[in-house]
Amino acid sequence: MEELKQIHAHMFKTGLVSDATLSYKLLTFCVLPNSGNLAYARMVFDRFRRPNTVMWNTMIRGYSNNNQAEEALHLYHQMLYQSVPHNNYTFPFLLKACSCLSALEETKQIHTRIIKMGFSSEVYAMNSLLHVYTITGCIESANLVFDRIPDRDIVSFNSMINGYAKCGEMVRASELFRNMPEKNVVSWTTMISGYVNAGLDKEALNMFCEMQMAGIEPDNVTLASALSACARLGALDQGSWIHSYIDKNRIYVDPILGCVLTDMYVKCGNMEQALEIFSNIEKKDVSSWTAIIEGFAIHGRGREALNWFMQMQSTGIKPNHITFTSILTACSYAGLVDEGKSLFQSMKTIYKLTPSIEHYGCMVDLLGRAGLLKEAKDFIETMPTTPNAAIWGALLKACRIHRHLELGKQIGKILIELDPAHGGRYIQLSSIHAAAGEWNQAVRVRKQMEDLGVPKVPGCSWISLNGVVHEFLAGDGSHPEMGKIYHAWESVAERLRQEGHEPVTGDLLLDLEDEEKETAIRQHSEKLAITFGLMRTKPGVTIRVFKNLRVCEDCHRVIKLISKIYGRDIVLRDRVRFHVIKEGKCSCEDYW
């Protein structure tokens, strides 16, 4: 910029300052992101009595590219006031400013102007308009624009697919994707990311495999999305393959990709590999540190989580709200009550962070798990914010664990009033009544749930073997090998009986006969998945199973016993945490 100012001064001395071409080049340099100087560019621009259209466009582009979207729109209003002619380069960066501000009304006004000025056949301008509508969620407006673009290009299709994906309309996104005349890496990545955001992780990985077969090389965004799908599915085989692909192709692991890789290994239960990835990240940011702290948290390794929390700060990285959620969770799962209280207090006093509802929920869970139910209830009643269903749910769970049934019944009623569409709330209250022997009340709550049409989330477990994710639902017979699985389970159940195991049926909610209860509990999805793992893997191989709900007491006991009988390490990730079981002992130490 210093050299440019000297050249500009020389232009004044030589009379070249009025040369439109030179002035345009001067403006172009001044508006460059990071290396330019917008204030100086505006001074140059304002000295022209009649800037031409190219100069107006350059300044609008400069403001848009330098995160000054409001200035871009303000300048455009001046352009209109002075009746400056437009061209097909006027609208794209103007619309980019609208997208940064999610300025829908301004977008509609510009849309009208595009049509009035005869630019509706300009694909560049129309693609920019399409982009704004899709990112602001105006999918119908986007659809109208898309249908009226005469010569759609790959950008048009990608924007529209992205719009459908953001709205969760993956069927329409897939139809459009399949009908594209040409696809690029952005097209594939948009679909993969869309599936991940919609919670359709198996579909995301299938799409990633298709992309490989089509010969399209993924970029860092594609890889991060695919790894996120692996993390949620616990698909360690696929995640490890993607990691090998990154190494083999010497893809630079930036902080984002490094964080996602760390998180994938954490969520797949391989903390050793997660630590290795973490140690190799060149520039560790707060997200990377939080990922590793969360890993120790959900694996029940609270002391180690605290150590890493201190190490993070020693490197000069300050914890954020998400970091505190992770470290408070670590304290909760490990029973570190005093440490959790101290950390919660430090949020305000030391780190100047205002606790969110999630942090209050962590504290209720911490106190409740430790059996401090009265303190937990008092904590809720003195919160500066209204407690939500998750907070009351944490206390209800504690009441169930510690059999404080009267308090549990009170909280259960509160929960149903707060969250009447959540099936789990009715089941929790029904469970409390059942535990108290109040079967009529338990049945009444379940009937209320059925009468209101509130759905129950079925228990689902899955296991990834040789790159294929096998899914099991409680009592479901849809797996093609279910006959063999049930037969194998009978053999396992017989071994369990020989070892003296008696089913723990207290968690069942209905007033069934003992034999019926035992039959129901034998069909829990994690038991079926582990049985399948025993069938399909060699002796000594670790079995990794993932479940969408919290594991019940009977399944927890059974899995520990299977580990001991068959000499298998079993890694079970339920809805909230990991249970790493070796030689019949669980990492949670039965504190879960």
Average pLDDT over residues 237-245: 94
Containing H/E element for 579?
Answer: strand 578-582
Helices (H), 184-270: 185-197, 201-213, 220-233, 236-248, 255-267
Q: How many CB atoms lie within 10 A of CB 406?
A: 10
Residue 17's pLDDT is 62
DSSP 544-566: EEEESSPPPHHHHHHHHHHHHHH
Q: Which amino acid is at 77?
A: H
pLDDT for res 516? 41
User: For residue range 89-101, what is the model confidence (pLDDT) as tens digits?
Assistant: 888 888 888 877 7
CA distance 273 to 231: 13
pLDDT in tens, 508-534: 544 444 444 445 556 788 999 999 999
Tokens of 270: 């391989």
Average pLDDT over residues 261-265: 95
Identify whether the C-beta of residue 104 lies closer than 8 Å to the C-beta of residue 95. no
Structure-derived torsion over alpha carbons of residues 165, 170, 172, 176, reported in degrees to the nearest 10: 70
Q: What is the DSSP string of 46-65?
A: HT-SS--HHHHHHHHHHHHH
Q: Which amino acid is at 55?
A: M
Rg (CA), the chain: 30
pLDDT at 107 over 90: no
Tokens describing residue 378:
């008092």
Of 339, 252, 259, the residue nearest 295 (C-alpha): 259
Q: So what's the pLDDT on residue 514?
A: 44
Domain residue ranges of the chain, discontinuous segments joined by +? 380-457, 460-586
Contact 22, 16 (CB under 8 A): yes
Q: How far apart are CA 353 and CA 344, in angstroms?
A: 10
* Tens digits of residue pLDDT in 127-144: 888 888 888 888 988 888
Provide mean pLDDT across the span 551-562.
91
In order of 217, 399, 585, the CA distances from 504 in angstroms are: 51, 19, 18
- Compute CA distances 566 → 486, 552, 569, 590, whole Å: 18, 21, 9, 21
Q: Are 242 and 225 in contact (CB under 8 A)?
A: no
Asked whether residue 59 carries a pLDDT value surpassing 50, the answer given is: yes
Which CATH superfamily hosts domain 380-457?
A: Tetratricopeptide repeat domain (1.25.40.10)
| Predicted local distance difference test score (pLDDT) of residue 34 | 67
Rounded to an integer, what distance in angstroms lies between the CA atom of residue 233 and that of residue 122? 44
User: In the predicted model, is pLDDT for residue 231 greater than 50?
Assistant: yes
CB 256 within 8 A of CB 220: yes
**pLDDT tens for each residue of 172-219:** 999 999 999 999 999 999 999 999 999 999 999 999 999 999 999 999
The pLDDT tens digits of the residues spanning 422-454 come to: 888 888 888 888 888 888 898 899 899 999 998
Burial call 128-138: b when 16+ CB within 10 Å, e when fewer: bbbbbbbbbeb
Q: Mean pLDDT over residues 114-127, rounded?
A: 79
**Type of residue found at 39:** A
Q: Which of 5-19, 106-120, 274-288 has the lowest mean pLDDT?
A: 5-19
The C-alpha torsion from 537 through 541 and 546 to 549, rounded to 10°, is: 100
Tell me: pLDDT of 117 over 90: no
pLDDT, position 198: 94
| The residue to which tokens 């050299």 are assigned | 3
Q: What share of the chain in percent tops pLDDT 70?
A: 95
Cα torsion 315, 319, 322, 326: sign: positive
- What CA–CA distance (Å, rounded) separates 491 from 372? 42
**Residue 60 pLDDT level (bands cut at 50, 70, 90):** confident
Closest C-alpha to 330, from 304, 356, 364, 353:
304
* Span 360-409, pLDDT tens digits: 999 999 999 999 999 999 999 999 989 999 999 999 989 988 889 899 99
Residue 4: pLDDT above 80? no
The CA distances from residue 94 to 40, 77, 79, 85, 128, in Å, are 21, 11, 12, 15, 9
Report pLDDT for 376. 95
- pLDDT at site 18: 66
Owner of token pair 């399909």: 536
Average pLDDT over residues 44-70: 83
Q: Which two tokens stand for residue 499?
A: 């070892």
Q: Which among 423, 407, 342 is positioned nearest to 368, based on CA atoms?
A: 407
- Comparison of pLDDT for 466 and 22, the residue scoring more: 466
Question: From CA 361, how far away is CA 389, in angstroms rounded?
Answer: 10
Distance between CA atoms of 196 and 204, rounded to whole angstroms? 6
According to the model, what pLDDT value does residue 35 have? 66
The angle, 0 to 180 degrees and rounded to 10, between the axes of the packed helices 185-197 and 154-166 is 0
Strands (E), 226-345: none
Token readout for 267 is 């969520």
DSSP letters for 424-484: HHHHHHHHHHHHTT-HHHHHHHHHHHHHTTPPPPPPEEEEEETTEEEEEETT---STTHHH
Using 50, 70 and 90 to split pLDDT, how confident is the model at 319? very high
**Would strands 570-573 and 543-547 be described as parallel, antiparallel, or unpaired?**
parallel
| β-strand partners of 461 | 472, 547
DSSP 512-543: --HHHHHHHHHT-HHHHHHHHHHHHS-TTPPE
pLDDT score recorded for residue 490: 92
Residues 6+ apart with CB under 8 A from 199: 232
CB atoms within 10 A of CB 319: 23
Mean pLDDT for the stretch of residues 258-265:
95
- The pairing of strands 585-586 and 570-573 is unpaired
More confident residue, 67 or 380: 380
Q: Angle CA(556)–CA(364)–CA(370) in degrees, nearest 5?
A: 55
